């Protein structure tokens, strides 16, 4: 368990044209912890997550789950559950059929679909077309898809976006329970206060590079808040291109 981390990124880089969006990013995700993936908008968080999951091909470096690249995983949804964007669903398809189709590719039993629908509270609207869902309901459907295979790692990209306070609390508890269960969570966010109450460990990204990889407590030490610590540590890395208002 300690020899092969659940998730390991080694020297990940991604170049789009002349822009190095992700620059030599290495980190590991350990069991039993919520790892916060923190950075400003455009710091390269989402791209890094897409590199981990094989959706984008890295220019350099690699990522492994228990020693194997994502594409080599047997029944990947049983190892990794990912929520990358609120809308990764055909709007004309019902929530239930969306999940049934995914479950079938992994040879998961049909009752598992009903189980995750219950978990995210969408059972009563499961036969409605996903296009009629609110942003929050869409986010819950994304979480249902992530939980479908009963994975060992959850990877969530800005999961609280568009959620109401109740939904935010629900996601937070879900992540805490998941980690307490001995599993891992990697959650990206640019919301400091949310991270401060959710994460145990932080990987901080700025301009595509890892600025810090340490416990939340160590990161905040000497500052009033996570926000203050973040601002102090990332000062100078927030370079916005373009001339501002014209």
Partner 1 sequence: MTATMTAPAGTSRVPALSDVMAGEWIKLRSLRSTRWTLGATVLLVLGFSSLAVQLYAGRYSHLSASDRVELHEDPISLVLQPGMAWGVISVCVLAALTVTSEYSTGAIRSLMLAVPARRPVILAKAAVISLVTFVLGDVLAFVAFFVSAPVINQHVEMSLSDGWALRAVLGSGVFLAATAVLAFSVAALVRNTAGGITAAVGLVFVAPNAAGFLPGRVGNYVSTYLPGGRAGQMILTSGRDTTHVLGPWAGIIVAVGWAVLALVMATVAVRRRDV
DSSP 3-state assignment of 6?
coil
- CA-CA-CA-CA dihedral for 88, 91, 93, 97, to nearest 10: 30
Closer residue to partner 1 (CB): 89 or 196: 89
Residue in 45, 50, 140, 183 binding partner 1, rule: CB under 8 A:
50
Q: Is 149 in the site for partner 1 (CB under 8 A)?
A: yes
Cβ partners under 8 Å of residue 84, min gap 6:
46, 49, 50, 53, 55, 155, 157
Residue 42 and residue 206 in contact, taking contact as beta carbons nearer than 8 Å: no
Q: Is 57 in the site for partner 1 (CB under 8 A)?
A: yes
Structure token pair of residue 113: 């679909």
Structure token pair of residue 128: 């409605």
Q: Is 145 in the site for partner 1 (CB under 8 A)?
A: yes
Residue 1: name the closest of 39, 30, 34, 35 by CA.
30
Show the CA angle centred on residue 79, arms to residues 89 and 154, nearest 5°: 60
Q: Is 56 in the site for partner 1 (CB under 8 A)?
A: yes
Q: Minimum CB separation from partner 1 for residue 104, in Å? A: 4
* Residues 93-112 close enough to bind partner 1 by CB under 8 A: 93-94, 97-98, 100-102, 104-109, 112
Number of residues binding to partner 1, judged by CB under 8 A: 43
For the chain, give percent helix, strand, coil, nearest 5.
35, 25, 35
Closer residue to partner 1 (CB): 99 or 168: 99
Go through 191-228 and write b for each residue having 16 or more CB atoms within 10 A of its CB, e for each that does not. ebebbbebbbbbbbbbbbbbbbbeebeebbeeeeebee
Q: Is 222 in the site for partner 1 (CB under 8 A)?
A: no
Closer residue to partner 1 (CB): 5 or 58: 58
Residue in 5, 39, 44, 76 binding partner 1, rule: CB under 8 A:
76
Q: Is 85 in the site for partner 1 (CB under 8 A)?
A: yes
Residue in 82, 125, 143, 195 binding partner 1, rule: CB under 8 A:
82
Q: Is 161 in the site for partner 1 (CB under 8 A)?
A: no
Using left for φ > 0, alpha for ψ between -120 and 50, and beta otherwise, residue 48 falls in: alpha
Q: Minimum CB separation from partner 1 for residue 246, in Å? A: 31
Q: Is 121 in the site for partner 1 (CB under 8 A)?
A: no
Q: Which residues bind partner 1 (CB under 8 A)?
A: 50, 53-57, 70-71, 73-78, 80, 82, 84-85, 87-94, 97-98, 100-102, 104-109, 112, 115, 145, 148-150
């Amino acid at each position: 368990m300690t020899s092969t981390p659940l998730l390991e990124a080694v020297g990940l880089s991604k170049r789009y044209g002349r822009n190095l969006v992700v620059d030599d990013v290495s980190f590991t995700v350990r069991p039993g912890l919520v790892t916060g993936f923190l950075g400003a908008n455009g710091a390269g968080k989402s791209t890094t997550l897409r590199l981990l999951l094989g959706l984008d091909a890295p220019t350099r470096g690699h990522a492994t789950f228990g020693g194997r690249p994502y594409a080599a995983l047997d029944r990947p949804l049983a190892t990794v559950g990912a929520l990358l964007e609120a809308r990764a669903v055909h709007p004309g398809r019902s929530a239930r059929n969306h999940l049934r189709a995914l479950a079938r590719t992994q040879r998961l039993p049909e009752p598992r679909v009903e189980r995750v629908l219950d978990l995210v509270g969408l059972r009563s609207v499961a036969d409605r077309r996903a296009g009629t869902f609110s942003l929050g309901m869409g986010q819950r459907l994304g979480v249902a898809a992530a939980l479908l295979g009963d994975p060992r790692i959850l990877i969530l990209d800005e999961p609280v976006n568009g959620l109401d306070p109740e939904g935010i609390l629900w996601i937070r508890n879900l992540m805490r329970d998941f980690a307490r269960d001995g599993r891992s969570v990697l959650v990206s966010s640019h919301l400091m206060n949310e991270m401060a109450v959710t994460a145990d460990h932080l990987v901080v990204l700025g301009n595509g590079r890892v600025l810090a990889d340490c416990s939340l407590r160590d990161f905040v030490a000497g500052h009033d808040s996570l926000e203050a610590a973040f601002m102090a540590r990332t000062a100078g890395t927030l370079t916005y291109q373009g001339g501002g208002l014209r």
